[in-house]
Every structure is written in structure tokens, then in C-alpha cells.
A and B are shown apart, each in its own frame.
Chain A
């Protein structure tokens, strides 16, 4: 029974995807014209599904709910026990070389899949509210289900092949979901960008797989974690996996897709940033950690490179987050920054892995909470705006109906509902969202006693106790920056009353319009706020699984002990991680400093938008350290000139040769068709010649 559950658990959402696809294929025949597509916005059209749309969402939600229940059952049975491998299928390539497709249940995968199923469940419930008026409601839920299945397959993979199957499903789904509103140019560009850049990283994964297979090394994760296997690996294997992880987890320099990925619907952003996709990169490194730990390149351990990239990404992302006006993009940068924390922690041995996975789990909860809260705000603004547009349309006469309609749509396109400068003072109108966002933001910043505090503190502690000063300093400063930029968007969007003067400095649209929108803003419906509340509660309490000190009734480190169990081979010295009060106090101090600074700077009415002194830095930051420009130049000039060269060679040399050969073949073909021309005596002649020559060959050969 357990075996069936264990095999079924990650695949259930996949089944749900196919069921939804089948129902759509059988019953939904609605086609949208190009005009409809163009004038579409996600709240303007009522969905025209033939089957009640709730059926679709209930299928997928039921699937992920069952998965969650199964995970809990499996966790109760398998956690802190010997690992279990459930093989679905073995593909025999050679006699003694098998490629296994199956699921591995050990402490690491169970902890992460608990978080994944729960958060995905919340996101799907929330989506029923968020996507309520969407045209392609079933498509959205189908993709969401496929996506979560991809993540579960990845997390529970028993071999790297299973891993890459889930990994690629996620890559595909991220493309489909970021480009969900594909009629918007920005969305389709962002989808392409995300796909291509993660794909660049995936090349590393494929390279690693090819090297492993060609060397005849088993792809099973259990095998790959054995030290004697690790010792004989090529250095290219962990490097390839590392590049893949950086691409997927948006670390410098493969991070440029992440902010643009905000073009998708907000639940998608929550899914990508909290529970799935980006977490997969961190998880990959943790999953095959021994090879990173033991293999070094030119004397530098690979884990240091991982940690360095992580720390740098954490810092750079935090600085970029400071200047952005788009609430979702700021959250995206914070994701990148937090992932940087995790990678930095991964540099520090087994305790680092514990800290990284712990942060991965807590981050999953509060980042989902933050995104969903932001989505709640965004959809409230969109709804209010839409209401106003409808009222205007209602008042207009029939003669001018068409033109005003177009105007209104233009007006809509100018307004960016993600912009924090058109929010302002939402704490009155959206009380629940305000509270949940505040909890999420404080958890992210790492305030005691929210969950983020414990995990972040553990990372800082582990870096400090290993004497990784550079990584520590970068991440420590990032605490201040994180507190600052998160407080900034919190203050501006929820607390600040934006005056007309300020508004005109930063916005193009009319102040009165915005005021009118603000009057119409209402709190989101229950199916959106309830997941928010649940996630908020979990964001507060989830740190309990790994309290850094003996705390009331919890005197065991449930989480860290079980993760350490997996990597017990790697623990050389029995050195324990000690609770560091000074560190806690100083990081909390930094946090409060950032918070206060943001309130002082942004809450009062401001005369100038930017202080002149900082404008140079500001420019660099808004240009995102010129990473995008760099890629642009590379793709525009370097790659293009290289392609021109290749094209030239291809036309002249390769095609030339091929065409010459093909010509010769063609001529030979004509000649041979003439020689063998269908006359019977001709055939007879050839057969006789063949027979005679055969006899000669046989007589005179050995």
C-alpha cells in the first residue's frame, strides 16, 4: 500500500494535467479571434467554458491535496528511517548498465516535498480567486498541475534521469506560464528569455549526464553520493550540474530571466519563486552534495565557487531590489538574494546543507505569502480600475462608444498595477492583505521569532563558524539591504499617503484617476485571503522544526538531525554548531536599522525623487549592473558575427562539399538508371557476370 502511495504521489498532478487536457479537448471548442486576444485583459472577459470552470480547478486541487496527504502519510512512515527507493522502470542500455526511473524517499526529499505540496496547494486554492475571470481558466490550472508534478518528480528523483525529467517539465512549464498571456509582447519575450537562459544552464546538466553515462557510472543518486564513486568522477560532472543549478536558481550571471519572469500571473510567480523551479537548483546541489564537497578545480573546492556565486548574487540582487518600482520585481530580486544565501550556505559542509535546506523550506512559505499578498493588491487595483472603466463606458453615448472603448484600453495599458507608486496607503482598504504582507516581509527580513529569523541566522552562523569571512560579510550586509528594500515597498505601498506633488514627480498617469481607483479598492475574496492567512501562520511557526537552541518542549533539532543523517559520511569533526547570541543581536540590529531607515526616508513627503549624490549608483542599479546590456551586446555583436562566420563557412565549405557530393550522386544516379534499363537480357547478363565473378572470388580467395 505504501509502495503504491509512494509511486503515485508525485505523478498525481501529472494525471490531473492529462485529465484536464482531455476534458478541454473533448468539450471546449471556444476559439478566440485575434481582436479578442488583443483587447483581452485578465479581468475583462468572462470565461466561456462549456464545462463549469470549477470542475477544472477542483480536479487539480484534489490531485495536489491528495499528494499532500500522501506525503504526510509517507513522512510519518519513512522520516528518520532508512531511505526507500521505489523503482518504476529500468531501462537497460547494456547488459549491466541500467538507467532507473523511480522515486527516492529519504529525509531530504520528504522534508522538501512536504513544503512543496503544501505551498502548491495554497497557491492553487488562491488561484481560483485570482484567475476567476480569466479566459483560459482550465489551461492555467492544467499548467499549474503539470508544474507541481515536475517539481515533485525532481525532488523525489531516485536517479539523475528522473531528476532531469522533472527539471525539464518545469523548464517547459515556466515557459508556458510566464508566457501565459502570450498575446502580450513583453510576456512572450520574457518567456523566451527564461527558457533560453535556463536552457543554457541545462546544457551543463546534459553534459554531466553524458559524461556519467559514457563512463559507465550509475546515475542513481544513492550511488552518486557514495564517496568511492565521487572520487572517480570527472570534474566536469559537478561543474555541469553547478551551471545548471545556477541557471535554474537565477544566480549571477544567469539571473537575468528572473525579474522578467514577473510577466506571468502572480500565482505563477509565487510558484516559480517559492515552492518550485528556482528551489530546484539549490536542491540539486544539496542532493548530490558529496561530489561538490570532494571535487576541486585548480585547488579550489567547488563548494567555494558555489558559495562565492551565491554570496555575490545575494548582495547584487539586494542592491538591485532597492531601486525597483515594480512590487513583483522587487520580490523577484529578493528571491534571487535569498537563493544566494542558500548557495552561500552550501559552501559550508553538512551544517551548511542543513541551513540551506532549512532556509529553502521557510523561504518557500514566506515568499509564497509575499507574492500572493502582492497579487492580492495587484488584482484589487486591476478590479477597481476595471470598475471605473466600465462605469465610464456605461455613461458614454452609443455614437462614441467604439472610440472611447479604444481610449480606455489605451489608458489601461498605461497604468501598471504592479507599480508601488500608484499603490500607497493600502492598509486601510486591504487590512488582511496588509497584515499578511507585513508578516511575510518581516519573516523575509528575519525578525525574531518569525521563521525567516531562524533559517537566516543559521546560515550566518554557519558561515561565521567556518571562518568564511568574505561570504559572511556579503551576506551580513545583505541583511541590512534586505530589510531596507522590503521596508521600502512595504512603506510605500501600504503606509504612505502619496501626495499629488510626489505623484506627479514619478507617475505619468493622472493623480485623480489613481485617487478614484483607491476609492474603489476592496479586500480580496475569501478564497484568496484564507490561503494568505494559512501561509502567514506557517511563515510564523515553521521555524519550529529547527530551533537553534533548546526551546521549551522542543529539545531536539528534528530537522537538522534528519538531514545530517543523510550526509553522515561527510562529517569529519564532531564540531557542533553553537548558538551565537552576538550574531543574533547584531543581525537584528541591522534589520531594525534598515527598517527605520526606510521609514525615515520614504514615509514623509519627499521633495526630490532621488538625492543627487546617489544618482550615479542609482543609474547603475536601475540598469541592473548592465547585465542585460552585456547579454544584449554579446548576442547582438559577438554571437551574430560568429554566426556570420559560421554561416559563411557553412555556405562555402560545408554546403559546397555537400552539394558537390550530392551532384555526383545525382549524376551517378542518372547513369546507373540508364545502365540498368529494365530489359531482360540486360538483367540476365549482369546476373551471369555476377555469378561468374563470385565463382572466381571463391576459387581464388583464402
Chain B
């Protein structure tokens, strides 16, 4: 019974995935089945969150470092502490937002559905990614970590390929899979070295002492596997192709949930490391990511690719605080919470931009800036949301993106001022392409669009959830931009519990 309670969120998700797959295989897309399908989906997420809050309640009641972790023979095999539970709540909230944005597809009738690339098979895959994220966050040994990692990665390849009449999508899916397999190979290789030299898989047994060259190498391979998923140059090549290939509702999934959960896993692994020997490597990768991504994006016309490059830029940016990584425990806690916060806010901003892009792609069947010139002239609401998302991604006040960039730079300045200078210069350069999106879509005068393909109704009444979720994200971006201490403190506190061992 105790195990049931501890693993309740994961169990709910698993059952829901099985139900969904059953329904998909039975159903021939009739209306009734689709409704029951959605019902299972929505209920599973709601129950998951409820279970998570229940767990949080128990953990807080236990005191400062309370945890519900599964322990066998004095070895923690599955972490459920406040860091894990709060991270899972954040992930579930992101999942809810994504679902609400995609909800615009849910009330299509059968004929419309036939003509859409959106498939209901997306939903079990989506839940699998969520489940994988949970496992990834809770993992306390490398094998569980690998399981979580694959649970996140594999559905992402399929999701892109759901649009199976589109050759680009299939190509992107295969590319994503091939390069994703490199990351898996890298991680498995790292685990192998660990196991040979350390005879174990547990994080805190293995990573505590990194003076051996073999252990350094092992950690390096795992790290590279992780940053390959995050998209740091030169391990970022899948990212523009995968982004370009996937339709926006799928892009919303693959660019948000896996990014955040993998970051959480990275934060967790790094919390066991006391040495900063990888500083040089990290700073080189950070600089390369920021420089090259800006060069790529300057000449790019496709919004999805620009978002891909912006992802590379931001992932380079988030590596900057690691240059301060050292034996100092306070600094380490700060770095971990900073990275967590930065990726979280980046994911929120990306959701806002992609949410607006969803509308554009549905309506005009293109994401090319030139073809979309003036597309938002008459839609001030979405233009506002888009600009807000761009502001936040670019790191301008009064949004949360500004706070995150500012905190990163302010912290890293004392460790590596040159890197901070480069980051500032290329942040300024990156403003160009963010501004360009806003300018072409809203400021420039409209072409005469006659290819309005959409049968989706984007009016405020019939897509209430779509607008409500985008608005709540935008309000969050602004409010947290003014009062960031609420969320940064949360991240700081859970990072403290992470380093208590």
C-alpha cells in the first residue's frame, strides 16, 4: 500500500496510457470513443496533480528534509523528495497548458479530423513523455535515469512522424531518431565505464569522488548525452531539422517537456558532483552555442527554425553559471536553482510563442516569415501575446526572461567576466531576429491572404481554453517579471534539499 501511494502519479499515468492505447486501437475515430478518450486523458492529468499535491503535503508535514523515497536495504532506489515532487508539479502544469492549447483540435468532427495532421495517437505519446519525465526526475541511479530518458525520447520521435503524409516530417523524425540514438549510446557508454570502475549505478555512490580519469570520462559521456538532448552546439544538429519537420502542436511537446525534464535530471546529477573540472569544456560549449546559433538565425526565414536556434542560444546561455561550479556548496545550490529557473521560464516563453505560431500555421499553412508578413495585423490579441513571448525569450523587461538572464549574468560575472561579456553581445545580436518576427508579422502591412485553409475556429468563444492558457502564461510571465522572488525562492529551497545528503 505504501508503495502504491508513493508511486501513485506514475501508476495513474501508466494506467491512463494503457487505456488510451486500447481505445486508439479499438476506435475507428467515432465521436463517442474520442470523447471517452479525452475523458481518460484529462482525468489522468488531474488525478496526477492531485496525487502530487498529496505527496507534497506529506513531505512538508515530515519536516525540512522529509521525503517519501523508496528505500530498500538502506539504498534509495527512487527519490520522492520535495525537489522531485515540486518539479513534477511544474511538469504537470506545463502538460496542462500544452493540453489546453492543443484542445482546439479536440472538438473537430470526423470529416475535419480526416483532413488534419493532428492524430489522437498524440495523447498516449504525450502521457508517455510525461511519465518518462517523472521517472527521469525521480531517478536516483543511472539505470532508472536511462529508462526515464528513453521514455522521454522515444515518443518524441514518433510524435513528429504522426504527420505521416508529410515527407519532411518523416525525414525529420528519422534524423531526430538517429541523433537521439547517439545520445543514448553516449549515455550507455558512460554508464558502462561507471559500472566497470565503480561497480554500481547509484548517483551518490559514484559521483562523489571524481579524481579518476575513467570516472571523469564516464561523466563526460553522460553529460554529452544529456546536452545532446538539450541542444548545445556541436550536439545540436538535430534540433533545427526536428523543429522544422514537426507540426506546431507536436513542436509544442518536443520543445518543452523533454527540455525541462532533462534539465531537471542534469541538475540532479550535478548536485552529486563536487568538482568543477568540466568548467573549461562547458564555457567553450556555451560560447560556441551562443555564437553559432546567432549566426544561423540571422539569415533564417522560418519561424520554427528561428525558435530552434533560439533554443540553442538559450541552452548555451544556461550553461554559463556552471563556470562558477566549485566546492563551494552555496554557489552550487545557487547554480542549480538558477539553471532550473532559467529553463523553466524559457519553456514558458516558448509555449507562448509556439501557441501563437499554432494559430498562424493552422490559418496559413506556413511558418515562413515572408509569407506570413502582416498576418497578425488584425489580430491584436495574438500579436500582443507573441510580442510578450518574444520579449521574454529575448530577455527584456518587464518579463520573467529579463530576470532570468539578469540573474545568470549577475551571478556569473564574478567567475567569468569575459564569458558574460560575450553573452551580452550575442544577446543583443539575437534581438535582431526576435524583433524581426514581430516586425514582419505585425508591423509590416499585410499581403492579401487568400489561402485561409483553416477549418479550425479561433474565435474567442469556441477556443476558450486555447486563449485562456495563453493568457495565463502571459500573465505569469509579467507577474513573475515583477515579483520573481516567489518562484526563485522556491527553486532555491528545493535545490537546498537536493544537496542534503
Contacts and interface: CB of A to CB of B under 8 A. Distances in A.
Interface residues of B, number: 35
B119 interface: no
B220 A695 contact: yes
Interface in A358-402: none
A92 B482 CA distance: 9
Given A678-B241, A683-B238, A691 B298 contact: no
Contact of A670 (B213, B233, B285, B299): B299
B237 A683 contact: yes
B429 interface: yes
B217 A695 contact: yes
Interface stretch (A51-59, A602-610, A661-669): A661-669
A524 to B, nearest CB: 45
B380 to A, nearest CB: 15
Interface stretch (B288-296, B340-348, B369-377): B288-296
A311 to B, nearest CB: 44
A686 B237 contact: yes
B299 A701 contact: no
B175 interface: yes
B388 interface: no
Interface centre among A673, A678, A698 (most CB of B within 10 A): A698
A327 B395 CA distance: 54
B179 interface: yes
Nearest to B237: A683
B294 A687 contact: no
A699 B292 CA distance: 25
Contacts of B186: 691
Contacts of A690: 224, 233-235
A671 B291 CA distance: 13
Contact of A699 (B182, B213, B233, B298): B213
A698 B223 CA distance: 12
Nearest to B178: A680
Interface residues of A, number: 28
Contact of A676 (B178, B235, B237): B237
B463 to A, nearest CB: 24
A92 B485 contact: yes
A551 interface: no
B279 to A, nearest CB: 8
Interface in B256-307: 277-278, 280-281, 284-285, 292, 294-300
Contacts of A665: 294-295, 298, 429
Nearest to B429: A665
A25 interface: no
B204 interface: no
Contacts of B429: 665
A335 B284 CA distance: 66
A686 B292 CA distance: 13
Contacts of B241: 678
Contact of A672 (B178, B182, B296): B296
Contacts of B295: 665, 668-669, 671-672
A261 B429 CA distance: 45
Contact of B224 (A673, A683, A691, A699): A691
Contact of A701 (B175, B238, B281): B281
B282 to A, nearest CB: 10
A553 interface: no
A669 B237 contact: no
Nearest to A668: B295
A512 B238 CA distance: 90
Nearest to B220: A698
A668 B277 CA distance: 32
Contacts of B235: 687, 690
A236 to B, nearest CB: 25
A41 to B, nearest CB: 35
A334 B333 CA distance: 65
A676 to B, nearest CB: 7
Contacts of A91: 482-483
- Residue of B241, B299, B482 with most partner-chain A CB within 10 A: B299
Given A695-B220, A698-B277, A687 B182 contact: yes
Given A92-B485, A671-B295, A673-B299, 4 more contacts: A680-B178, A683-B238, A684-B178, A701-B281
Closest 7 CB pairs of A and B: A690-B234, A683-B237, A669-B299, A669-B298, A672-B295, A686-B234, A668-B295
16 contacts: A92-B485, A665-B295, A665-B429, A669-B299, A673-B296, A673-B299, A673-B300, A678-B241, A684-B182, A687-B228, A690-B235, A695-B217, A698-B278, A699-B216, A699-B217, A701-B280
Interface of B: 175, 178-179, 182, 186, 213, 216-217, 220, 224, 228, 233-235, 237-238, 241, 277-278, 280-281, 284-285, 292, 294-300, 429, 482-483, 485
